[in-house]
Amino acid sequence: MLKISRLVFSILVIISSLYIVITKNFDWIPLMLVALGASTFVIGISEIRSDKRNFWGYLSLGATFIVLYTLIDLLSNSNVFS
């Protein structure tokens, strides 16, 4: 289940990033950040649940919180909802 989720979120990040770069339509950045946060969260959980329990799982969870903070800051300072 985690492998499928990681694949889906990673593909969504790549597609939305390519769309943003090609069309120069930056209104899709919040969607890309949500997918990126979900992708790093799933990667972190899968690393922690593995038998290795190394540093990279916790680093991925930290990166998730940074991405989600950036998303909240972006949404609060923009006119996305107005």
> Which residue ranges of the chain lie beneath pLDDT 50?
none
Rounded Cα distance between 74 and 56, Å, is: 26
Domain residue ranges in the chain: 2-76
Residue 56's Cβ-side half-sphere holds a number of Cα atoms within 13 Å equal to: 8
Rounded Cα distance between 55 and 13, Å, is: 24
**DSSP code, position 53:** -
CB-CB contact of 10 with 46 (8 Å): no
pTM (2 decimals)? 0.76
pLDDT of residue 79: 64
pLDDT of residue 48: 82
Closest CA relative to residue 45, chosen from 29, 64, 30 = 64
